Structure 1
Amino acid sequence: MPLACALFGPWFADASGPRSAAYAPAGAELHLGTDFVGRDVLDQVLLGGRTVVLMGGGAAIAAYVVGVPWGLCAAAAPRRWMDEVLMRPLDILLSVPSLLTLLLVAGLARPGPWLLGGVVALIMLPEVARITRAAALEAASGPAMEAMRLTGESWWLRNVRYPIGTVLPVLYADFGMRIVGALYLVASAAFLGVGVAPDAADWAVMVDRNRPGLFLQPWAVVVPALLITAMSVGLNLLFDQALARRREAT
């Protein structure tokens, strides 16, 4: 339900609707009341989920597109120093707190949704690469790989197809948690005012900007906060259930 609201809600919202008094209570015409500048909260809720989903999902996919090949290259490196050269820079990135990275980038660069998505992908990249490397190490140096070398199997089979097939179940299980983490980072950044306008139709921005009127008009804070929580928990449970079915099928 929250995901459907985020993706399809803008089609049903009236972004240019008339404004009323700030923090007007819910009623027959304003089902969820108004926000801090008098906009219809229901319209803002319908409009505000797409940025969270698109930026969070796009950042998670980008982290996997870069991190999986990175980890596979590190696992297949013929020399230990090559592995070190590939993985040590990622360890440095991993040692910096994620929210601190967001704030530093926001202070040094012009904020925007593309920048926010790129920073979130960069934050998740080290963990994706490390998980991929750990899952592919046995496949890259085990007896099956040695047998393929001796029988003259193709480079594509030895270095791409076989390792990816080995790590795919691990990555599938990890992706559910990773996309929830991306949504958390995007929402946290929007809550802090990083990457989105302070009056944007965004669920996290709604929670932040409407906090002063929480006791006057609670729906402007409670509804977007519940949608963010429900979407994060729901996506995680969905991926866990899909993984359990995959295990039963195999």
Structure 2
Amino acid sequence: MRYLLLAVPLVVAFAGPLIPYEVARSASFADVGVLGTDFAGRDVWHQVLLGGRTLVVTALLATAGAYLLGGLWGLAAASAPRMLDEVMMRPLDLLMAVPSLLLLLVVAALAPAGALGWIVMLVHLPDIARLVRACALEAGSRPAVEAMRLQGEGWWRITAGFVARSMARVLATDAGTRLTGSLYLIAAASFLGVGVPPDAGDWAVMVDRNRGGLFLNPWAVLAPSLMIVMLAVGLNLTVDRVLKGARHAPR
């Protein structure tokens, strides 16, 4: 069931734009076609097929970029002298003090169009850097690391060979939640009209623009909302299942 929850929105998001569909316009919120029409008289089912790829790809790239940059930042801070560690981490603490959605809206107002993914990556950066730093400090204090240093192992081998592997499971657990958070931030920004045109074929934009006709054609709101919910729930359940299987796997 968990895989079905994840597979359905992913298939719709990536295969939907490839499905040939006859585009036609009708009256707003009319009972025409599979799911009726939206506020602009466009076919809702066609908009659902078109509206997921940008959301999913942006969330994936923003999360991956945040882990790449935040991981390097956290590892560098954990292995740096105390003063440099403080200099690297204190600006991130200031960013963490600002609510994520507020930070996204403020930066989006100053950033050029199309920078939504970069902004979401910036929002996640402080949390990931602090998490990686904390995990690296804990793993670096183990006797195995001290033994590797005494054997003359280099920084790269210790960090990549032992420290990174030690915190892989923690980061994998966080990644599932973080990706869901990226979906939430991008959907919320799109819902508020930040970073996307008001008539864009985006699931979150569809929810916002069609809510005025909820009682005329509820599918214009329910269909994209269901895709977002299925994607978020299915992703979390799948990551949890994979981690549970890895924990019980024979070593």
Q: Would you say same fold, with TM above 0.5?
A: yes
Match of 1:80 in 2: 82
**Contact 2:29–2:213 (CA<8 Å) still a contact in 1?**
yes
**Which stretch shows the higher mean deviation, 115-124 or 162-171?**
162-171
Flag the 1:13–1:56 CA change in 2: closer, same or farther, 3 A. Answer: farther
C-alpha contact 1:32 1:220 (8 A) present in aligned 2: yes
Per the alignment, residue 13 of structure 2 pairs with 6
Runs of 4+ displaced beyond 4 Å? none
Q: CA deviation at 1:76?
A: 1.7
The 5-angstrom pairing of residues 1-250 of structure 1 reads 1-14=8-21, 17-26=23-32, 30-77=33-80, 79-112=81-114, 115-249=115-249, 250=251
Moved more, 208-217 or 127-136: 127-136
CA apart distance, 1:155: 2.9
Q: Residue 169 of structure 1 aligns to which amino acid in structure 2?
A: R
Quote the Cα distance in structure 2 between the aligned partners of 1:97 and 1:69.
24
Counterpart Cα distance in 1 of 2:53 and 2:241:
24
CA distance in structure 2 between the partners assigned to 1:161 and 1:93 by the alignment: 31
Shift of 1:109: 2.8
TM-aligned CA distance change 1:103 to 1:155, over 3 Å: closer
Q: What is the rounded CA distance, in whole Å, between the counterparts of 1:61 and 1:107 in structure 2?
A: 24
Instruction: Flag the 1:13–1:58 CA change in 2: closer, same or farther, 3 A.
Output: farther
In the alignment of these two chains, the number of paired residues is 243
CA contact (8 A) 1:48 1:201 kept: yes
Deviations 1:35-54 (A, max 9, x none): 00110000000000111100
In 2, the alpha carbon distance for the partners of 1:80 and 1:144 equals 22
Q: Contact (CA 8 Å) 1:60, 1:179: kept in 2 or not?
A: yes
Cα distance between partner residues in 2 of 1:109 and 1:128: 22
In the aligned structure 2, how far is the partner of 1:106 from the partner of 1:89? 19
CA RMSD of aligned residues (A): 1.3
Q: TM-score, normalised by structure 2?
A: 0.93
Give the deviation of 1:13 after TM superposition.
5.0
Q: 1:103 to 1:13 in 2, by over 3 A?
A: farther
- With normalisation by structure 1, the TM-score equals 0.93
Q: CA deviation at 1:75?
A: 1.6
Asked if the contact 1:72–1:163 (Cα under 8 Å) also holds between the matched residues in 2, the reply is no
